[in-house]
Amino acid sequence: MKYILLCLLFCGYFFKAQVLNKTDSNRVKPQDTLVIDSGKKDSLQIFKPTIYDYTFKTQFSEKKIFDTAFTPDKTFIFSQYNNRDNFGKIQFGNTGSGFQDLVFEVNTEQNLSLLPTRKSSFILGINDIKYYDVKTPTTSFIYHNAYSSGATLQTTYTQNVGKNFNFAVEYMGLRSLGFYQYSLASSNNVIFSGHYLSENKKYEAYAHYIHQNINNQENGGVSDIDLFLNGSSNFNNRLNLPVNLTTSDSRFAYRRYYFSQQFRPFASEKFPFKIRHTIFHQGNKYYYTQNSLEPYYFNSQSDLIDYPYSSKKYSENLSNTVSVLFDKENFKLDAGVRYQIIKLGIGDALPAYLNIPQELSENRVGAVGNLLVKLWDKVEVNSNLEISSGKAFGSYIRSQNLLKFEPIKDYFVNAKVNFQSASPSFNLLMNPSVYRKYNFYLENPKNETTTQIGGDVNLKWFQSKLSANYFRIDNYTYLDANALPRQSNASLNISQIGGEATFSYGKFHLNPKVLFQSAINNKNLLPMPNFIGRANLFYQTKAFKKAAEIQAGVKVYYFTKFASREYFPILNEFILLNSNSYDIGGQPIADVYFNMKVKRMFFFIEAQHLNTTFMKNKSFTAPNYPIYDFRVNIGIVWYLFS
């Protein structure tokens, strides 16, 4: 309720700020600030900003304008609490409670750091931080309602100070009670960012600070799944369903200080050399806390050790890089050296007889490089390489290579070859616990090596896109049915083929998206659905004398049955199925929605999982974790260009 009141407080300002209609991208041409008075009447020139005066970028990306167009993909983004299109994932039964990945992908944020899988859907890495350039102070609000009670509100304020410096402040607060016992989710993010470019363009600097907290009560899933499936009216109120855990919660804190600066020592354009220095410190902390021992995890006192009920793990990374750049418009090359201090540790020391160290640390030395080549505005090659080595966590190699080209006008091809050889996720290297069998230390692990070959083709016909990927993973690291880390002796090979298109007839549109995938061997190590599909049938038109625009439609999400891994709360990871596991999937998830845009305000209203109003909910995110029942989901996006 407090978030709704906060929005209402700004309503008066909203209508005042929109009178001039300064940033209507549908009514201005792609150009810079418009001069609406040349100064002939007096000594002043009057400027009218357009949407092209409001841009953002990440440090190494091209500038983009604020996307205020009412495109169909918005219904997949702003109906999600993390404001991302989560195709290939399935959400747990509460806002802020994370997802299970249905599609394999490499998460580079887990490299040489501690990041539990279920906590990763909200994390913003270095390349996710936005730096802005705006003509006038700019504010945005993104609101989502929650499950049962609570809300999510994300707000951004950014302003230029003079022509050369911009700062931004971003905050996200989330709290959702959930439909089931002990499923409360609460999170918050704070980001401060700044970008400076000197008048002579010789010096440029980027800086940010980010602090993210992701907190969840861990209920261990429904303890008797038959009570959920039998449809008894006694359990229509999901709070009546007994759950496995009643005193546990998990917390993850993610903090980073980042500063990068570059200087061009030569004034002449004949010598386009720059020197770049980047330093950052990132600290990750994971806590699993319990008010009392949970019988779900043990049978007798012999299953326990002398250790606190609650446990802590952490990782730290202090990185310092110096690079030399050759920077031309169509040819960029940089190479540098990197020095890192990396730590992985646990809170309280474990008993000596377990032979689990309290902390691992090392000093690493490595090299980084990047090559960008653009030819004839038709071909682009972008390659990145990072190599480093240390005694505790071994060698690290990551190579990303992307080729973009346009063989025929309006037909685009993106081909990629990626390679990574790195220590397994730090969350799988060690763990402390009061429960004896969940203490482990993966000593001298082999590097997990992943090779990816693939790409996509974007066709003019029906705005279609075809994609294919092949992964080979050597020394694949996973958690077995006992929640202990293991490494596969044989490679895991995965193939993926997918496509998307949009078919239109007048104001009616159909947007299907499909993905076929298969693990060619070692299927039991990474169970996955063979098919994932989504269809969006909608109607879109102007309304209210073209003062508004509306979308109305039906979305259906589906994945085939598969023997899902189980969710393990202590680690916030997924483990191989045991004898009590069962298949999930094979049930559609249908939403009916009505979206509307008025000036710079968007409304997203959905009747989610509507099919559970006339059929039993048999959908699961993971064994014992049902997907949410029918609910009304509301999202509001609001841009203020003052």
Give domain status of residue 13, yes or no. no
> Which pLDDT score, from 0 to 100, does residue 18 have?
33
pTM comes to 0.90
The pLDDT of 600-624, averaged and rounded, is: 93
Q: Do residues 189 and 170 lie in contact, with contact meaning Cβ atoms separated by under 8 Å?
A: yes
pLDDT tens sequence across 413-452: 999 999 999 999 999 999 999 999 999 999 999 999 999 9
Strand partners, 608: 631
The top-scoring range by mean pLDDT among 52-61, 69-78, 336-345 is: 336-345
Res 6: pLDDT: 40
pLDDT per residue over 158-199, tens digit each? Answer: 999 988 999 999 999 999 999 999 999 999 999 999 999 999
Q: Which pLDDT score, from 0 to 100, does residue 34 have?
A: 55
Inform me whether the pLDDT recorded for 9 exceeds 50. no
Alpha carbon of 117 to those of 252, 422, 570: distances in Å? 11, 17, 12
Mean pLDDT of 500-523: 95
For the stretch 523-580, pLDDT in tens is: 899 999 999 999 999 999 999 988 999 999 999 999 999 999 999 999 999 999 887 7
Secondary structure in 3-state letters for 507-523: CEEEEEEEEEEEECCCH
Quote the CA–CA distance of 245 and 229 in Å, as a whole number.
Answer: 20
Alpha-carbon distance of 283 to 212, in angstroms, equals 11
In a domain, 28, yes or no: no
* 31 falls within a domain: no
- Residue 17 lies inside a defined structural domain of this protein: no
Return the pLDDT at 233.
74
pLDDT band at 42 (very low <50, low <70, confident <90, very high): low
Return the pLDDT at 452. Answer: 97
Q: What is the pLDDT of residue 36?
A: 53
pLDDT of residue 31: 53
Regarding beta strands 89-91 and 99-101, do their DSSP bridges make them parallel or antiparallel, or are they unpaired?
antiparallel
CA distance linking residue 569 with residue 486, whole number of Å: 18
The answer to whether 127 touches 257, Cβ cutoff 8 Å, is no
DSSP string, 43-109: S--EEE--GGGEEEE-TTS--EE---S--TTHHHHTTSTTSS--TTEEE-SSTTS-EEESS----GG
- Judge whether 83 lies within some domain: yes
Query: How many structural domains does the chain have?
Result: 1
- DSSP one-letter string for 549-597: EEEEEEEEEEE--B-PPEEETTTTEEE---TT---B----EEEEEEEEE
Average pLDDT over residues 619-632: 94
Q: What is the DSSP letter of 425?
A: P
> Domain holding 510: CATH number?
2.40.170.20
30 domain-assigned: no
Cα-flanking dihedrals φ and ψ of residue 2, to 5°?
Answer: -65, -30
pLDDT band at 37 (very low <50, low <70, confident <90, very high): low
Cα–Cα dist 330/375, whole Å: 7
The per-residue pLDDT of the chain, averaged, comes to: 90
Q: Does 13 have pLDDT greater than 50? A: no
Please compute the mean of the pLDDT values over residues 387-400 and round it to a whole number: 96
Q: How confident is the model at residue 501 (pLDDT cuts 50, 70, 90)?
A: very high
pLDDT for 45: 67
The DSSP output letter for 111 is: T
Residue 84 scores a pLDDT above 80: yes
* DSSP strands (E only) in 409-530: 411-422, 430-431, 440-441, 448-459, 464-474, 477-479, 485-487, 492-500, 503-505, 508-519
Query: In the predicted model, what is the mean pLDDT of residues 611-640?
Result: 93
Measure the CA–CA gap between 421 and 452, rounded to whole angstroms.
Answer: 12
The DSSP letter of residue 178 is -
Report the alpha-carbon distance of residue 208 to residue 191 in Å, rounded: 7
User: What local confidence, expressed as pLDDT, does residue 269 receive?
Assistant: 72
| Secondary structure (3-state) at 307 | coil
Question: With 80 as the cut, is the pLDDT of residue 306 above it?
Answer: yes
Give the whole-angstrom CA distance, residue 366 versus residue 386. 7
Whether 4 has a pLDDT exceeding 70, the answer reads no
Using 50, 70 and 90 to split pLDDT, how confident is the model at 41? low
The most confident of the ranges 16-20, 119-123, 164-168, 582-586 is 164-168
**Domain extent at residue 548:** 44-241+252-641
What local confidence, expressed as pLDDT, does residue 231 receive?
A: 72
- Sign for the CA dihedral angle at 21, 25, 29, 33 comes to positive
- DSSP states of 362-391 as a string? EEEEEEEEEEEEEETTTEEEEEEEEEEEET
Whether residue 4 lies inside any domain: the answer is: no
The yes-or-no verdict on residue 215 having pLDDT over 90 is yes
The tens digit of pLDDT for each residue in 249-272 reads: 999 999 999 999 999 988 767 788
- Please report which helix (H) or strand (E) contains residue 208, including its range: strand 203-218
Answer whether residue 542 is part of any domain. Answer: yes
- Secondary structure, 3-state, 231-297: CCHHHCCHHHCCECCCCEEEEEEEEEEEEEEEECCCCCCCCCEEEEEEEEEEEEEEEEEECCCCHHH
The dihedral over CA atoms of 555, 561, 562, 567, expressed in degrees to the nearest 10, equals 60
